[in-house]
Chain A
Amino acid sequence: MLRMSWSTFRDRWQVFVGAIITVCLGVALVQSSLLTLVSAATAKIPPGLSAGEARELRDGYDGAVALLGMTMGLAAFVAIFIVSSTFAFTVAQRRRDLALLRLTGASRRQVRTLLAGEALLLGTLGSGLGALIGVPVMRLHAAMLDSFGFVPSGFVGEWRSWILYVSAGTGIGIAVLGVLAASRRAAKVRPLEALREIGGAARVMTASRWVFGTFFLAGSIALIVLVPVLGGEAALPLSIFVSFTLVIAFTAFAPLVVPLVSLPFGLLFRGRLGVLAHANLRAGVRRSASTAAPIMVLVAFVVGMAGTMSTITEASRQEVTRDLRADLVLEADRPVRDQVAAVPGVSAISEEAPVIVDLGFDYGDDQLTYEGVDAVAVDPTGYARTHRVVPTAGDLADLRGATIALSPSYAPELHLRVGDTLPVRLDGGGPDKLRVVALLPDTLSGPFFLLPPDLMPGDGPRRYIVRAADPQTVAPRLAGLGEVSTATRWIEANADEQQRQSVDVMVALLGMAMLYTVIAMINAVVISASDRRGEFAAARVTGLTRGQVVRTALGEALAVVSIGLLLGTLAAAGTVIGIAFAIKDMIGISAAAPPWALLAAVALGATAVVAAASVLTTLSATRTPPIRLVAARE
């Protein structure tokens, strides 16, 4: 059987090129991410740094680890997805060959072995190439993390020889997982199909598609409902997970959805060519579905993630706007409270000092977990006058001595209450326990922890939130003490900074997703055109010119792109709506920021790629004079 796999592979290599590149890319990314991740996770903090610097460095490494982890997951998922749609497609194309094998005495198991063998070859080849390409990719990763400020410059992932086993395992694993569903389908091909055309296309919507589709759709809905419940830190990864499950659900239902969505195109497509294109679209459900799938994945991930991030940013901007009752913000590099208070026209001041404390949390695993958190030491009276603060329990006025006010949304599972005490480690000594005096409401933008003025460091940077009767006259008077901005401008600047950080992360993750899906799109177009030479020839013998055939195929391809865009947008909308509900539930702000510009860019890009691929492959498929192809049926 393996020899048979080899000969199929050799014969149909064009079909597998896309899948090999995909596996290769997947392996390269997983290998490089994993090596870089291990290096970042085990990176030593050099001695001699201040606590703050050390923590910043550690935070950077943690950010890098999280990003690389997501990269790995996404790379593996998309690779499996693309390989499996390639195999699904080749199985559909080879039904007759497979039926013939069954007729000559192949058992179901042998058919599965044949496909698994092809996957093995593909996986081996892809892993080999991927392991090679992974080496330069690692440099790219390091450069990228450096430019995002996650790691100090000069950081490079360290090569470890065990990674080769991991890479081989990854590539072969991707290929074998990708072939699973297709080989099950292949084993169901009946020998009779070698003799006559039976409803191969008619029964695209199989029982397993129903089961899978329903399962993942129900799962997605459950997740969307769950996001608000789990909320907080889990919301972003969870909502990205929703795009995964929605994509799988839509792919499973594609044979059902594609003809449905293509209905309106019947109205759009006029004339002889239009009718033909529309008929092809509906008849070639599987073909349409497999071209639409990568576009759907692209839109779902890119627009879904961008939408999630911009929605979070927008919501936290609105939250700060809602909660800040001040006119001016002064950022100073030393305590200047008395000078600020002395400025005429200032009616209220809140002095705020950033403090990093290690808080000990009892997560129930026998020992305390110390986590470094960003807290703000404030003067409760001034803070209450310049912020809208509505503690859900306790009173902020009690924030004196060894106490803390916190938002339980930082760690909801701990069920912290007023009167609880938290072990603490402070830079330069101080109390070793803090009593909780107030619970702050859930928040996106923070602060999650407020400390009393007693714990304010003697010097260091300060932020002064100022209320003034006439801000325009007060602002210049404060200018000598530090950087002054109006509250509105300060909020905008903050939001922009947050946006910029999430854009960096997005570029890293989504650039990769885009690369993949572009390969998958071209792959799908090329595979389907290779199968249609006979059909194109028949159309030309019937009287269509070559140009008309190309135009019909193009019309079809464009319709498929629209279907993919539509379904992808739907999946993305599910993600964004989930996160928007979560936010509404958390902080009572309705914000949704759909990334329209990005959606438009993705739509244009996908259309251009598919249109170009379609025209080129149709031209190449119609190069042979049609009569030769019609005559030679086999």
Chain B
Amino acid sequence: MVYVETQITHQLVDVPGAAAAAVELSGVTRVYGARSAAVRALDNVDIAFPAGSWTAVMGPSGSGKSTLLHCAAGLEQVTSGRVHVAGRDITNASDAELTKLRRTVMGFVFQSFNLIGSLTAEQNVAMPLRLAGQRPPRRVVRDVLASVGLADRARHRPGELSGGQQQRVAIARAMVTRPAVLFADEPTGALDTKSARTVLSLLRAMVDNGGQTIVMVTHDPAAAASADRVVFLGDGRVVDRLERPTTRQVAELLARWEG
């Protein structure tokens, strides 16, 4: 596994401009279905997510924002165009290559907290490292849990935690490998306001302190306002952008594009 990591680091250094964009989609089109029933979820999208920045992707239902996230993370094949993650072309990457990337370069956080129910918080957090064949020292895992404020919940199972706590465990899991890119899909969607605020500040810290990149799909103007910029999608195309957004600006744009 050490070998794998060196390989990826090597590529990171090797490809020029890798530092500029952590994730880059060029001319990406994704079509579902065939012929008459075909739906263009993404229509020739060009977008780059700069390294060390936090981008929120917004848009009405069916605008293609989830598809964008899935394609950017290599979870779905694009119909045409190219996708680069951490300087590496993943457009036609094999399952094994993508698996390696998921262990080292990418992290995921979702609306439904996606923890493995039979494992404790601690074991859930250690999972990505274990899957990569490492034996993480307990201290490392505890530290990460402490950084999301759950030091005292390490031995609890997801069923014994509140929604906000579960989401923080999921974030801790995504943090433990220090991924270059974190993909987040409605991370605050199922949380109360207070828990949502905690989660957003954790994400903020990852970008500011860890220099990590976040690509986040959301409906929530408050969540989008925590990001560095907002990209609006409509009918599979990028229709608007907003730098350093405020909640109010986001809400206004949302009203315009969704109304």
Q: Which residues of A contact B (CB under 8 A)?
A: 4, 7-8, 10-12, 97, 100-108, 110, 190-192, 194-196, 633-634
Tell whether, in the assembled complex, residue A194 and residue B110 are in contact, meaning their CB atoms are under 8 Å apart: yes
Task: Please name all residues of chain A whose beta carbon is closer than 8 Å to the beta carbon of B70 when the two chains form the complex.
Answer: 192, 195
Tell whether, in the assembled complex, residue A107 and residue B110 are in contact, meaning their CB atoms are under 8 Å apart: no
> Told that A97-B116, A195-B75, A634-B117 touch, could you supply 7 new A-B pairs with CB distance under 8 A?
A11-B118, A100-B116, A102-B102, A106-B131, A108-B96, A634-B113, A634-B115
Number of interface residues of B (CB under 8 A): 32
Chain A nearest CB, measured from B187 CB (Å)? 12
Is B201 an interface residue, CB under 8 A from the partner?
no
Task: Please name all residues of chain A whose beta carbon is closer than 8 Å to the beta carbon of B103 when the two chains form the complex.
Answer: 105
A interface footprint on B108-124 (CB within 8 Å = 1, 0 otherwise): 10101111111100010
Is B212 an interface residue, CB under 8 A from the partner?
no
A interface footprint on B81-111 (CB within 8 Å = 1, 0 otherwise): 0000000000000011001001110001010
Identify B118's interface contact among A7, A102, A191, CB under 8 A.
A7
Tell me the complex Cα distance, A192–B76, Å: 7
Task: Please name all residues of chain A whose beta carbon is closer than 8 Å to the beta carbon of B66 when the two chains form the complex.
Answer: 195-196
Q: With A105-B103, A192-B75, A195-B70 in contact, do A110 and B131 touch (Cβ < 8 Å)?
A: yes
> Which chain B residue shows the least CB distance to A191?
B75
Tell whether, in the assembled complex, residue B119 and residue A108 are in contact, meaning their CB atoms are under 8 Å apart: no
Is B158 an interface residue, CB under 8 A from the partner?
yes
Pairs A–B under 8 Å by Cβ, sample size 13: A7-B118, A8-B118, A11-B117, A97-B117, A100-B116, A104-B102, A105-B132, A107-B96, A107-B99, A108-B95, A195-B185, A634-B112, A634-B115
Task: Please name all residues of chain B whose beta carbon is closer than 8 Å to the beta carbon of A633 when the two chains form the complex.
Answer: 112
Query: For chain A, what secondary structure do more than half of its interface residues adopt (helix, strand, loop), or is it mixed?
Result: helix
Tell whether, in the assembled complex, residue B128 and residue A105 are in contact, meaning their CB atoms are under 8 Å apart: yes
Task: Please name all residues of chain B whose beta carbon is closer than 8 Å to the beta carbon of A8 when the two chains form the complex.
Answer: 118
> Which chain B residue shows the least CB distance to A100?
B114
Tell me the complex Cα distance, A104–B185, Å: 15
Is B166 an interface residue, CB under 8 A from the partner?
yes
**Residues from 2 to 45 in B contacting A, C-beta threshold 8 Å:** none
Tell me the complex Cα distance, A15–B106, Å: 34
Is B237 an interface residue, CB under 8 A from the partner?
no
Tell whether, in the assembled complex, residue B158 and residue A4 are in contact, meaning their CB atoms are under 8 Å apart: no
Q: With A7-B119, A192-B75 in contact, do A106 and B99 touch (Cβ < 8 Å)?
A: yes
Task: Please name all residues of chain A whose beta carbon is closer than 8 Å to the beta carbon of B108 when the two chains form the complex.
Answer: 103-104
Is B171 an interface residue, CB under 8 A from the partner?
no
Q: With A7-B123, A195-B70, A634-B158 in contact, do A105 and B131 touch (Cβ < 8 Å)?
A: yes
Chain B nearest CB, measured from A192 CB (Å)? 4
Chain A nearest CB, measured from B181 CB (Å)? 14
Tell whether, in the assembled complex, residue B173 and residue A104 are in contact, meaning their CB atoms are under 8 Å apart: yes
Tell me the complex Cα distance, A106–B99, Å: 7
Tell whether, in the assembled complex, residue A102 and residue B112 are in contact, meaning their CB atoms are under 8 Å apart: no
**Residues from 155 to 185 in B contacting A, C-beta threshold 8 Å:** 158-159, 166, 173, 177, 185
Is B206 an interface residue, CB under 8 A from the partner?
no
Task: Please name all residues of chain B whose beta carbon is closer than 8 Å to the beta carbon of A110 when the two chains form the complex.
Answer: 131
Tell me the complex Cα distance, A492–B82, Å: 82
Tell me the complex Cα distance, A18–B159, Å: 25
Is B127 an interface residue, CB under 8 A from the partner?
yes
Identify B127's interface contact among A10, A104, A192, CB under 8 A.
A104
Give 6 nearest A-B pairs by CB, closest first. Answer: A11-B118, A105-B103, A192-B75, A105-B102, A105-B131, A107-B99
Q: Which residues of B contact A (CB under 8 A)?
A: 66, 70, 75-76, 95-96, 99, 102-104, 108, 110, 112-119, 123, 127-128, 130-132, 158-159, 166, 173, 177, 185
> Which chain A residue shows the least CB distance to B159?
A634
Task: Please name all residues of chain B whose beta carbon is closer than 8 Å to the beta carbon of A191 when the two chains form the complex.
Answer: 75, 102
Tell me the complex Cα distance, A107–B99, Å: 6
Tell whether, in the assembled complex, residue A102 and residue B117 are in contact, meaning their CB atoms are under 8 Å apart: no
Task: Please name all residues of chain B whose beta carbon is closer than 8 Å to the beta carbon of A97 when the two chains form the complex.
Answer: 116-117
Tell me the complex Cα distance, A146–B184, Å: 70
Tell me the complex Cα distance, A194–B117, Å: 14
Tell whether, in the assembled complex, residue B75 and residue A101 are in contact, meaning their CB atoms are under 8 Å apart: no
Tell me the complex Cα distance, A110–B132, Å: 10
Tell me the complex Cα distance, A194–B109, Å: 11
Tell me the complex Cα distance, A101–B177, Å: 15
> Which chain B residue shows the least CB distance to A192?
B75
Tell me the complex Cα distance, A102–B221, Å: 31
Tell whether, in the assembled complex, residue B75 and residue A190 are in contact, meaning their CB atoms are under 8 Å apart: yes
Chain A nearest CB, measured from B47 CB (Å)? 20
Tell me the complex Cα distance, A194–B173, Å: 15
Task: Please name all residues of chain A whose beta carbon is closer than 8 Å to the beta carbon of B104 when the two chains form the complex.
Answer: 105
Task: Please name all residues of chain B whose beta carbon is closer than 8 Å to the beta carbon of A12 when the two chains form the complex.
Answer: 118
Tell me the complex Cα distance, A195–B109, Å: 10
Chain A nearest CB, measured from B2 CB (Å)? 15
Tell whether, in the assembled complex, residue A10 and residue B118 are in contact, meaning their CB atoms are under 8 Å apart: yes
Task: Please name all residues of chain B whose beta carbon is closer than 8 Å to the beta carbon of A192 when the two chains form the complex.
Answer: 70, 75-76
Max count, chain A CB within 10 A of own CB: residue among B76, B128, B131: B131
Chain B nearest CB, measured from A464 CB (Å)? 77
Task: Please name all residues of chain A whose beta carbon is closer than 8 Å to the beta carbon of B123 when the two chains form the complex.
Answer: 7
Chain B nearest CB, measured from A85 CB (Å)? 22
Tell me the complex Cα distance, A190–B130, Å: 20
Tell me the complex Cα distance, A97–B66, Å: 20
Chain A nearest CB, measured from B107 CB (Å)? 9
Tell whether, in the assembled complex, residue A102 and residue B99 are in contact, meaning their CB atoms are under 8 Å apart: yes
Tell me the complex Cα distance, A633–B123, Å: 22
Task: Please name all residues of chain A whose beta carbon is closer than 8 Å to the beta carbon of B177 when the two chains form the complex.
Answer: 105
Tell me the complex Cα distance, A100–B110, Å: 11
Max count, chain A CB within 10 A of own CB: residue among B103, B113, B116: B116
Chain A nearest CB, measured from B139 CB (Å)? 19
Tell whether, in the assembled complex, residue B114 and residue A194 are in contact, meaning their CB atoms are under 8 Å apart: yes
Q: With A192-B75, A195-B75, A633-B112 in contact, do A104 and B128 touch (Cβ < 8 Å)?
A: yes
Task: Please name all residues of chain B whose beta carbon is closer than 8 Å to the beta carbon of A11 when the two chains form the complex.
Answer: 117-118
Chain B nearest CB, measured from A127 CB (Å)? 24
Task: Please name all residues of chain A whose beta carbon is closer than 8 Å to the beta carbon of B117 when the two chains form the complex.
Answer: 11, 97, 634
Tell whether, in the assembled complex, residue A103 and residue B102 are in contact, meaning their CB atoms are under 8 Å apart: yes
Task: Please name all residues of chain B whose beta carbon is closer than 8 Å to the beta carbon of A10 when the two chains form the complex.
Answer: 118
Tell me the complex Cα distance, A101–B130, Å: 11
Chain B nearest CB, measured from A291 CB (Å)? 25
> Which chain B residue shows the least CB distance to A99?
B114
Tell me the complex Cα distance, A625–B102, Å: 40
Tell whether, in the assembled complex, residue B131 and residue A104 are in contact, meaning their CB atoms are under 8 Å apart: yes
Tell me the complex Cα distance, A107–B102, Å: 10
Task: Please name all residues of chain B whose beta carbon is closer than 8 Å to the beta carbon of A101 when the two chains form the complex.
Answer: 116, 127, 131
Tell me the complex Cα distance, A367–B117, Å: 67
> Which chain A residue shows the least CB distance to B177?
A105
Task: Please name all residues of chain A whose beta carbon is closer than 8 Å to the beta carbon of B96 when the two chains form the complex.
Answer: 107-108
Tell me the complex Cα distance, A105–B179, Å: 12
Max count, chain B CB within 10 A of own CB: residue among A11, A102, A104, A108: A104
Task: Please name all residues of chain A whose beta carbon is closer than 8 Å to the beta carbon of B132 when the two chains form the complex.
Answer: 105
Chain B nearest CB, measured from A70 CB (Å)? 40
Task: Please name all residues of chain A whose beta carbon is closer than 8 Å to the beta carbon of B95 when the two chains form the complex.
Answer: 107-108
Tell me the complex Cα distance, A565–B10, Å: 62
Task: Please name all residues of chain A whose beta carbon is closer than 8 Å to the beta carbon of B173 when the two chains form the complex.
Answer: 104
> Which chain B residue shows the least CB distance to A188?
B95
Tell whether, in the assembled complex, residue B118 and residue A195 are in contact, meaning their CB atoms are under 8 Å apart: no
Tell me the complex Cα distance, A101–B112, Å: 15
Tell me the complex Cα distance, A106–B70, Å: 18
Tell me the complex Cα distance, A195–B70, Å: 9
Tell me the complex Cα distance, A192–B75, Å: 6
Task: Please name all residues of chain A whose beta carbon is closer than 8 Å to the beta carbon of B130 when the two chains form the complex.
Answer: 4
Task: Please name all residues of chain A whose beta carbon is closer than 8 Å to the beta carbon of B119 when the two chains form the complex.
Answer: 4, 7
Task: Please name all residues of chain A whose beta carbon is closer than 8 Å to the beta carbon of B115 when the two chains form the complex.
Answer: 634
Tell me the complex Cα distance, A106–B132, Å: 8
Tell me the complex Cα distance, A195–B158, Å: 18
Chain A nearest CB, measured from B21 CB (Å)? 23
Task: Please name all residues of chain B whose beta carbon is closer than 8 Å to the beta carbon of A107 when the two chains form the complex.
Answer: 95-96, 99, 131
Task: Please name all residues of chain A whose beta carbon is closer than 8 Å to the beta carbon of B159 when the two chains form the complex.
Answer: 634
Tell me the complex Cα distance, A18–B128, Å: 32
